Amino acid sequence: MFSIKPVVQDYWDWRAAGNFLFGGTGSGLMIVLAFAALLGGVSFPLPALIALAFVGAGLFLVWLEIGKPWRFLNVFRNPFTSWMSREAYAAAFLTLAGLAAAWTGSAALIALAAALGAVFLFCQARILHASRGIPAWRDSSVLPVIFATGIAEGTALAALILLAEPSRPAWLLPLLLIALFVRALTFFQYRKRMSDGRAPVAVVRRLARISTTVWTLAFAVPAALVVIAMAVPALAPIATAIAAICAVFGGWHVKFNIVRKLAHVQGLAIERMPVRGTPGIATPSAHPGWQRD
């Protein structure tokens, strides 16, 4: 892949995107689960294993993508500056703490796993933010989007998994409502920042195209269903289930777009055209694919 104009990167495909989708959901679930266990006394061993399975699935997809899969241990070599190395460490410790928590049922260990889940989620966001070659990733507004959607997906999945749990905390649905709202807020703030000239024209257009779907799938529909679930107890199970599925898929839709569809490269630019003739005149810059053309 090479283009003067910004085109969508093809270095990271759906497998890399899968890490952000599943990793965010899994780590978000672990965080919410710890609160549910500590504040509500929810039984967490099985849900904790589900959270780890999500994180593991994401990492497995990445492993399928790397060019030298049997050198994967080298990913641990640079925690000093690389967020990918840090993510690997966080994943390793998260897995250990999560398994230990599921095995022992220890509240302290699930709290530790939740903290590591938060670190893992933060690392995922910083991985994108550190990619200076991709304008839609390097802007700081991507950080809250990745973190907020991870929490929203985790809350939604917790609500789904704990549907039949008698000790399911009452604050789970209100929390989901808040998480959905915050996620929508961060996404539209992200879109605004991209539209302010921080991204190529193609990214801005793509964001405009997906905004309706994001608004509907990731916020309006699940939020309305959560309200219904809270207001009409008879409909609570079905409304909660559909809301949770919508919320998770809505988050995946956002992240898949960020990693795969909005990931246009910087493109090349010429700050000054060369002087021609005598006396020469140089026309100013050319930056194909950006607003200042």
> Which tokens sit at 142?
């991507």
Q: In whole angstroms, what is the distance from residue 150 CA to residue 156 CA? A: 10
- Least CB distance to another protein at residue 25 (A): 22
- 290 contacts: CB under 8 Å, gap ≥ 6: 6, 197, 200, 201, 267, 269
Question: What's the one-letter identity of residue 169?
Answer: P
Binding mask 254-273 for another protein (x = CB under 8 A): ---------x-xx-xxxxxx
* Smaller CB separation from another protein, 94 or 127: 127
Site for another protein (CB under 8 A): which residue of 35, 137, 187, 190?
137
Query: Following CA atoms 177, 143, 30, 12 in sequence, which dihedral angle do they give, to the nearest 10 degrees?
Result: 120
> Which tokens sit at 189?
């703030």
Site for another protein (CB under 8 A): which residue of 170, 233, 234, 280?
280
Residue 3 sits in the site that holds another protein (CB under 8 A): yes
Residue 130 sits in the site that holds another protein (CB under 8 A): yes
CB 86 within 8 A of CB 77: no
Q: In whole angstroms, what is the distance from residue 132 CA to residue 217 CA? A: 30
Share of the chain residues as helix, strand and coil, in percent rounded to the nearest 5: 70, 0, 25
CB 127 within 8 A of CB 19: no
Instruction: Give the total of residues touching another protein (CB under 8 A).
Output: 50
Residue 274 sits in the site that holds another protein (CB under 8 A): yes
Residue 85 sits in the site that holds another protein (CB under 8 A): yes
Residue 92 sits in the site that holds another protein (CB under 8 A): no
Footprint on residues 22-81 left by another protein (CB under 8 A): 62, 65-69, 71-72, 74-78, 81
Site for another protein (CB under 8 A): which residue of 38, 53, 57, 82?
82
Q: Which residues bind another protein (CB under 8 A)?
A: 1-4, 9, 11-12, 62, 65-69, 71-72, 74-78, 81-85, 88, 127, 130-134, 137, 263, 265-266, 268-276, 280, 282-283, 286, 288
